[in-house]
Amino acid sequence: MSLATIELAGVAKRFGAQVAVQGIDLSLQEGGCVGLVGHNGAGKSTLIKLMLGLLRPSAGTVRVLGEDPTGGASVRARREIGYLPDNVAFHPSMTGAETIGFYARLKREAPARGRALLQQVGLDEAARRRVGTYSKGMRQRLGFAQALLGHPRALLLDEPTTGLDPEFRLRFFGILADMRRAGTSVLLSSHALAELEGAVDRIVVIDHGRKLADGDIATLRAEAGLVPRLRASLANGQLPGWQQVAPGVFETSCPEPDILAFLKALPDKAGSVEILRPALDEVYAAILQGPQQNRGLGPSCAARFRVTAPAGPGESPGLRCRELHL
């Protein structure tokens, strides 16, 4: 059975009258990956700093690798944590190689490991240039390489994808997958739920310091209560009970479990039918808005069906030609 690397129970953090986080329960297992999603000021960085022991909770308990990160016994545990801060800042007059070498010494790593990490994040050619000349994405890559030093058992990454180009973003999630296979737990924060699909196994949505949702993407979709819409194109005629949204185009809402039965029951005059599932950004917005039932929304995730003629009198039309647009 995998072990809990990070455990928060009833955690709150206040700065004077300002409540930054409250009532947070969160656990992360060995090899697990959690995406912490929330708007500006939601409490993401505060939670990460609580896990690092940079902040002390006002209430509740924080355990990282079995230790209280603010306690004296946490020194060993802290060496096994990799951290990428949200505003990564390095000395501008040091080169990339000097910078990673400096952090390698702090983490008691051989210099060769630093060089290998620079290569892994695509900075080998820029290694001899001063960090002050690096682009935003290059600084972010250097920060990521720094966080990977010391073979961490827990990786805490605060908005790690900021400034990364799409190609490196893919490589970044690939490196995280390799780390996870070796048992490292990963927690990363982001403003965009959509970029985390397929890359994390759980999403925690926080808003005004409170946890609003915690689960995989399918759970979040279900919790958002958004109902897919069906859009049918018709050369002529009407579809009773459907709303006409353009000449020859009709839409209706349909709960996910009923879609197939709904499609099979369609008259064959409905030439093609698209299923419009809510996009993840809409799921996120709906979770932030709070629970509502049967919301029908947005066309960003679609599956297209063509309805074939009935095989014989009295039979329902068949379904053919499925294209997925995700």
Ligand X SMILES: Nc1ncnc2c1ncn2[C@@H]1O[C@H](COP(=O)(O)OP(=O)(O)OP(=O)(O)O)[C@@H](O)[C@H]1O
Q: Does 38 bind ligand X (CB under 6 A)?
A: yes
Query: What distance in Å separates the CA atoms of residue 312 and residue 194, rounded to the nearest whole number?
Result: 44
From residue 8 to residue 47, the character string flagging contacts with Mg ion as x (rule: CB under 5 A) and all else as - is: ------------------------------------xx--
Residues forming beta bridges with residue 273, ordered by sequence position: 232, 305
Among 7, 86, 197, 223, binds ligand X (CB under 6 A): 86
Q: Does 152 bind ligand X (CB under 6 A)?
A: no
Q: How far is the CA of 175 from the CAs of 13, 149, 181, in angstroms?
A: 32, 13, 10
- According to the binding rule CB under 5 A, does residue 86 interact with Mg ion? yes
- Chain position whose Cβ is nearest to Mg ion: 45
Q: Residue with structure tokens 């629970």?
A: 291
Q: Say how far apart CA 27 and CA 135 lie, in whole Å.
A: 35
**Partner whose binding site includes residue 18, from Mg ion, ligand X, none (CB under 5 to 8 Å by kind):** ligand X
Cβ 189 to ligand X shortest distance, Å: 7
Place of tokens 């990956």: 33
Q: Which does 15 bind (CB under 5 to 8 A by kind): Mg ion, ligand X, none?
A: ligand X
> Residues 181, 27, 225, 254: is their CA dihedral positive or negative?
positive
CB of 40 to ligand X, least distance (A): 3
By CB under 6 A, residue 150 contacts ligand X? no
Q: Is 134 helix (H, G, I), strand (E, B) or coil?
A: coil
Per-residue tokens: 312: 């014989």
17 touches ligand X by CB under 6 A: no
State the amino acid at position 42 in one-letter form: A
157 binds ligand X (CB under 6 A): no
43 binds, among ligand X, Mg ion, none (CB under 5 to 8 A by kind): ligand X
Among ligand X, Mg ion, none, the one that 42 touches (CB under a kind-dependent 5 to 8 A) is: ligand X
Distance of CA 210 to the CA centre of its chain: 17
Pick between residue 18 and residue 93 the one whose CB is nearest to ligand X. Answer: 18
CB 79 within 8 A of CB 152: no
Q: And the tokens for 129?
A: 């240039």
Q: Is residue 183 a contact partner of residue 31, using CB atoms and an 8 Å limit?
A: yes
**Residue 211 in the binding site for ligand X (CB under 6 A):** no
Q: What does 95 interact with, of Mg ion, ligand X, none (CB < 5 to 8 A by kind)?
A: none
What's the CA gap between 174 and 205, in Å, rounded? 23
By CB under 6 A, is residue 45 in contact with ligand X?
yes
- Closest approach, Cβ 302 to ligand X, in A, equals 31
CA distance 276 to 153: 41
Cα distances (angstroms) measured from residue 2 to each of 27, 113, 131, 166 = 12, 28, 39, 32
For residues 20 and 104, which CB has a smaller minimum distance to ligand X in the complex?
A: 20
At position 122, the amino acid (one-letter code) is: G
Q: What is the DSSP letter of 255?
A: -
Pick from 8, 11, 32, 44 the residue near ligand X by CB under 6 A: 44
Residue 190 within binding range of Mg ion, rule CB under 5 A: no
d(CA 200, CA 37): 12
Of the two residues 42 and 276, which places its CB atom closer to ligand X in the complex?
A: 42
The yes or no reply on residue 20 touching ligand X (CB under 6 A) is yes
Catalog residues that contact Mg ion under the rule CB under 5 A.
Answer: 44-45, 86
Interface residues with ligand X (CB under 6 A)? 15, 18, 20, 38, 40-46, 86
